[in-house]
């Protein structure tokens, strides 16, 4: 990389650092942190923290890696970058001094502008915690603990030509620890939800969501432990479990580095799912995994990975896209500046063609009504409705999965729904998807968790329609965990 290109990079970084001179005061006042990363032939990373000040890591073609810590202001970082400029080879002193003087005339953002960037104190969410902590006289609930947290993230992307792109978001997390007491023993149920930049914050829907969580906890408390093998005629799964299957078994198989490494079951596009099967990815979906740009500054957006059963695209970085003669689509992410970026999922979800969105499926009674209307309970047939997940594994090399399901309802016309807890749900994702019959209810993509890939953790989200119905095929098993 030429000295001029390197100078352009340093100039862009220096411009932002000068803006941070005012931001640091705001960061300390509001107890926030901010991270900046610029990587290419040269790499500069700045980490600002309300308690630790500024830490700067610099690696350029003309120097070994340097780490500066316990810095007290962005001006210290300005001095560091000035040192880098003066250390550039093959550049005369007058040119370096002229460059440094030019940097001192950059614009600095004022505090009013900083306060107008969408930040607020979220008092409405905090006051809602009191309502969420009420047990509302629901059976078996003996205590509820609530939690609230917010994470502000400001990602700044700097290209080698000095182009700067900023992507800021504030993620609010609400959670409930619901403790129940029943003759079968005490249990704890955890319910949580995340909101990003006010994009999907609606107080009434939040109350409804957590109220349904309380009902689920009450039902879980009185449910009998699953035992033995279950052989229902049909299997229905909620959006959370549907997203888990799509993420673990199919999503990882569609990451381009796995395809290039020849370890993905979907490396050849000859394999086809059922023609009504679609799987999509969208980093900009308003959930905990929301990102407008990836860590290369590539804009994300909704894209189909599987359309009408055929693989039509993979999750790409700039490098994998070049190697596979494709276009990058904004899926290179890293856990932190000191971790290597890699191709990762953000939000993936099940999007079948045979989907009736207008059917309400918020309660077990509404789900039973849908199954009865569709004829799935005729002639003594049984549907196993699986809700949520508490752990599991899957193989992108074979699409085999093994997921722990906390609750299952056996639904038939012969008796009221019977709840069971703690099952192992195993099978092959391709066989399951190819047995898909119909989906109902709203498309929900807000289940979130930490996805680990080569010891790098990243918040991801997934989902699908509220209710997804499958014909139980050979090889798909439901086994009580106590029976294994």
The residues spanned by each domain of the chain are: 3-115, 123-222, 229-483
pTM for the structure as a whole: 0.75
From 18-22, 134-138, 393-397, 441-445, the region with the lowest mean pLDDT: 18-22
The yes-or-no verdict on residue 153 having pLDDT over 80 is: no
What is the per-residue pLDDT for 221?
A: 86
Q: Which tokens belong to 133?
A: 């902590």
The yes-or-no verdict on residue 196 having pLDDT over 90 is: no
The beta-strand segments (E) located in 61-140 are 63-71
Sign of CA dihedral 262, 265, 271, 273: negative
pLDDT in tens, 61-92: 444 444 444 444 444 555 555 555 555 555 56
At residue 434's C-alpha, the angle toward residues 431 and 438, to 5°, is 130
Q: By percentage, how much of the chain surpasses pLDDT 70?
A: 68
The yes-or-no verdict on residue 32 having pLDDT over 80 is: no
As a whole number of Å, the CA-based R_g of the chain is 26
Dist CA 29 CA 465 (whole Å)? 42
Dist CA 433 CA 471 (whole Å)? 10
pLDDT band at 302 (very low <50, low <70, confident <90, very high): very high
What is the per-residue pLDDT for 88?
A: 53
The yes-or-no verdict on residue 150 having pLDDT over 80 is: no
Dist CA 424 CA 337 (whole Å)? 37
The yes-or-no verdict on residue 15 having pLDDT over 70 is: no
Identify the residue with better confidence: 126 or 332.
332
Identify the residue with better confidence: 203 or 354.
354
Identify the residue with better confidence: 89 or 482.
482
pLDDT band at 33 (very low <50, low <70, confident <90, very high): very low
Identify the residue with better confidence: 432 or 58.
432
Q: Average pLDDT, stretch 169-185?
A: 80
Q: By percentage, how much of the chain surpasses pLDDT 90?
A: 40
Dist CA 42 CA 134 (whole Å)? 54
Q: Which residues pair with 202 in a beta bridge?
A: none
The per-residue pLDDT of the chain, averaged, comes to: 78
The yes-or-no verdict on residue 1 having pLDDT over 90 is: no
pLDDT in tens, 430-468: 999 999 999 999 999 988 888 988 888 899 999 999 999
Dist CA 321 CA 257 (whole Å)? 10
Residue 41 host element (H or E): none
> How many other CB atoms are there within 10 angstroms of residue 1's CB atom?
14
Identify the residue with better confidence: 354 or 61.
354
How many Å from the N-terminal Cα to the C-terminal Cα in the chain? 60
The yes-or-no verdict on residue 126 having pLDDT over 70 is: no
pLDDT band at 183 (very low <50, low <70, confident <90, very high): confident
From 81-90, 212-221, 249-258, 359-368, the region with the lowest mean pLDDT: 81-90
Dist CA 461 CA 324 (whole Å)? 26
pLDDT band at 199 (very low <50, low <70, confident <90, very high): low
């Amino acid at each position: 990389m030429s000295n001029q290109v390197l100078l352009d990079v340093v100039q862009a970084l220096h411009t932002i650092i000068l803006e941070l001179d005012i931001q640091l005061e705001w960061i300390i006042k509001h107890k926030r942190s901010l991270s900046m990363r610029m990587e290419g032939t040269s790499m500069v990373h700045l980490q600002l923290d309300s308690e630790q000040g500024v830490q700067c890591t610099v690696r350029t073609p003309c120097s070994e890696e340097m780490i500066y810590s316990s810095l007290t202001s962005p001006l210290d970082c300005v001095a560091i970058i000035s040192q880098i400029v003066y250390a550039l080879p093959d550049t005369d002193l007058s040119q370096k001094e002229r460059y440094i003087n030019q940097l001192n005339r950059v614009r600095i953002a004022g505090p009013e502008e900083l306060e107008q960037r969408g930040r607020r104190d979220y008092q409405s969410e905090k006051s809602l915690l009191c309502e969420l902590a009420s047990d509302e006289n629901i059976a078996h609930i003996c205590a509820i603990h609530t939690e609230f947290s917010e994470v502000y993230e400001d990602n700044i992307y700097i290209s080698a030509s000095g182009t700067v792109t900023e992507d800021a978001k504030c993620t609010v997390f609400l959670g409930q620890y619901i403790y129940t007491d029943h003759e079968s023993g005490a249990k704890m149920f955890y319910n949580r939800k995340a909101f990003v930049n006010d994009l999907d914050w609606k107080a009434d829907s939040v109350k409804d969501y957590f109220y349904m969580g309380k009902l689920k906890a009450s039902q879980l408390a009185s449910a009998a432990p699953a035992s033995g093998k279950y052989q229902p005629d049909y299997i229905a799964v909620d959006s959370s479990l549907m997203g888990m299957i799509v993420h673990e078994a199919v999503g990882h198989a569609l990451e381009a580095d796995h395809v290039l490494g020849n370890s993905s079951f979907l490396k050849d596009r000859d394999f086809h799912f059922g023609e009504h099967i679609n799987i999509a990815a969208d980093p900009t979906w308003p959930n905990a995994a929301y990102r407008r740009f990836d860590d290369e500054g590539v804009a994300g957006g909704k894209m189909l990975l599987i359309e009408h059963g055929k693989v039509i695209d993979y999750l790409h970085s700039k490098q994998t896209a070049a190697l596979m003669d494709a276009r990058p689509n904004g899926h290179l992410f890293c856990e932190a500046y000191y971790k290597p970026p890699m191709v990762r999922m953000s939000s993936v979800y099940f999007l079948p063609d045979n989907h009736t969105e207008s059917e309400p499926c918020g309660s077990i009674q509404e789900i039973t009504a849908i199954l009865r209307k569709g004829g799935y309970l005729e002639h003594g047939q049984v549907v196993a409705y699986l809700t949520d997940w508490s752990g599991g594994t899957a193989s992108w090399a074979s699409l085999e999965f093994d997921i722990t399901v906390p609750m299952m309802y056996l639904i038939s016309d012969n008796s009221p729904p019977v709840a069971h807890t703690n099952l192992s749900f195993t099978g092959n994702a391709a066989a399951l998807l190819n047995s898909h019959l119909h989906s109902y209810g709203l498309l929900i993509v807000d289940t979130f968790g930490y996805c680990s890939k080569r010891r790098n953790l990243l918040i991801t989200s997934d989902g699908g329609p509220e209710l997804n119905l499958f014909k139980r095929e050979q090889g798909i098993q439901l086994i009580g965990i106590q029976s294994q």
